[in-house]
């Protein structure tokens, strides 16, 4: 049984469809990568999975249980450990206190006995401190033990945040860009660390990451998001050469995407001048409605199918790279109409 299974997840913020038809699956002991260009919806997906956002449709199940509606703190207690894109910690507290705060759900005593100060409380507090110290040792951060977190360097903070996520005693760890703010060497080191952590804590991980070498090295499976849809999925080595992924990231054109979406600056300019830009830019209804998902038969098959349809859909809709490749311009019927 998969640890985490996301089905048909969709969320909309006002006019923006941030996620649509997202399916993903994380199996026991896997490190799964979630990649995609900026604004692809990766962090939104994290927020939906960990309960910070309520998806409009779709479901999130954890070890076979539907946990879509569970609030974040319940999920944290359940075993969802997560980090944030821009460091989620209590900045005015010390490193050791942050690690103790993160063990909140596993503190093992209630508020009242904490206020009274029973022997159980003091014993548990000692244990929490010992565990926090162990994590500091593990990450080599013992030297900032009693320093305020706020003043530390970004790389240190990211590492300590990973420690905090570990301190919540997670079953599945969701890491949002763990290497941001780190140099290449530190990133490599982090890769080793993630593999070690997986081995020692028997962890399952879902990682948002931009650092390609790291993804290639540690991930067992990679999902690629673009414009809120699943663009592709597969083994990292396959994904690396996947034409659409390359297109989405580097602005090269995917061969099959060319037909529908190629559009030059001249066209954009022309559209703007003639005021017809809105026609096919902002109209979500262009998203291929005839692409019906095949009937599900087993999660893997479903997953593949959904990915395929999403990829096809997004290609048809608006796979619009940030930078354009050298021009080759086959005209499409749609653009002929607007021109």
**C-alpha torsion angle, residues 29, 82, 235, 314 (rounded to 10):** 140
Strand partners, 175: 207
Binding-residue total with other proteins (CB under 8 A): 41
User: Which residue among 92, 237, 264, 283 contacts other proteins (CB under 8 A)?
Assistant: 92
User: Which residue among 38, 65, 146, 285 contacts other proteins (CB under 8 A)?
Assistant: 146
Task: Give residues with Cβ within 8 angstroms of 199, minimum separation 6.
Answer: none
d(CA 190, CA 197): 10
111 lines the binding site for other proteins (CB under 8 A):
yes
Pairing mode, if any, of strands 80-82 and 65-66?
unpaired
User: Which residue among 8, 28, 125, 293 contacts other proteins (CB under 8 A)?
Assistant: 125
85 lines the binding site for other proteins (CB under 8 A):
no
| CA neighbor of 23 nearest in space, from 38, 10, 36 | 10
Please, which residue, 119 or 241, has the CB nearer to other proteins?
A: 119
Query: Quick one: which segment of 32-40, 45-53, 199-207, 278-286 binds other proteins (CB under 8 A)?
Result: 45-53
262 lines the binding site for other proteins (CB under 8 A):
no
Say which residue the tokens 């080191």 belong to.
189
126 lines the binding site for other proteins (CB under 8 A):
no
Are residues 3 and 27 in contact, defined by beta-carbon separation less than 8 angstroms? yes
89 lines the binding site for other proteins (CB under 8 A):
yes
71 lines the binding site for other proteins (CB under 8 A):
yes
Strand partners, 173: 81, 205
Please, which residue, 125 or 334, has the CB nearer to other proteins?
A: 125
Strand partners, 148: 94
104 lines the binding site for other proteins (CB under 8 A):
yes
CA atoms in the 13 A half-sphere facing the CB of 211: 21
Binding site for other proteins (CB under 8 A): 50-52, 71-73, 76-77, 81-82, 84, 88-94, 96-97, 100-102, 104-107, 109, 111, 114-117, 121, 125, 146, 148, 150, 164-165, 168
């Amino acid at each position: 049984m998969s640890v985490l299974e996301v089905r048909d997840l969709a969320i909309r913020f006002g006019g923006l469809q941030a996620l649509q038809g997202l399916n993903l699956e994380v199996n026991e002991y896997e490190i799964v990568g979630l990649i995609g260009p900026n604004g692809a919806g990766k962090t939104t997906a994290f927020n939906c999975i960990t309960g910070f956002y309520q998806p409009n449709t779709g479901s999130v199940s954890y070890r076979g249980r539907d946990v879509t509606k569970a609030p974040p703190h319940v999920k944290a207690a359940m075993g969802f450990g997560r980090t944030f894109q821009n460091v989620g910690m209590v900045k005015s507290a010390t490193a050791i206190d942050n690690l103790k705060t993160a063990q909140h759900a596993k503190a093992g005593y209630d508020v009242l006995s904490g206020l009274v100060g029973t022997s159980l409380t003091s014993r548990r507090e000692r244990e929490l401190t010992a565990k926090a110290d162990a994590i500091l040792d593990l990450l080599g951060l013992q030297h900032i033990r009693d320093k305020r977190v706020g003043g530390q360097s970004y790389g240190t903070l990211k590492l300590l945040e990973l420690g905090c996520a570990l301190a919540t005693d997670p079953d599945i760890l969701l890491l949002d860009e763990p290497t941001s703010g780190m140099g290449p060497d530190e990133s490599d080191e982090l890769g080793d660390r993630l593999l070690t952590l997986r081995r020692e804590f028997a962890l399952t991980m879902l990682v948002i990451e931009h650092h390609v070498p790291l993804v290639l090295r540690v991930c067992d499976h990679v999902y690629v998001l673009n414009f809120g849809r699943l663009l592709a999925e597969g083994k990292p080595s396959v994904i690396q050469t996947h034409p659409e992924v390359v297109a989405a990231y580097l602005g090269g054109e995917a061969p099959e995407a060319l037909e529908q979406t190629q559009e030059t600056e001249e066209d954009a300019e022309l559209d703007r001048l003639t005021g017809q830009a809105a026609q096919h830019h902002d109209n979500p209804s262009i998203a291929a409605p005839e692409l019906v998902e095949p009937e599900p038969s087993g999660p893997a098959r479903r997953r593949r199918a959904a990915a395929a349809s999403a990829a096809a859909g997004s290609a048809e809709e608006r796979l619009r790279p940030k930078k354009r490749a050298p021009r080759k311009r086959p005209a499409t019927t749609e653009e002929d109409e607007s021109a």
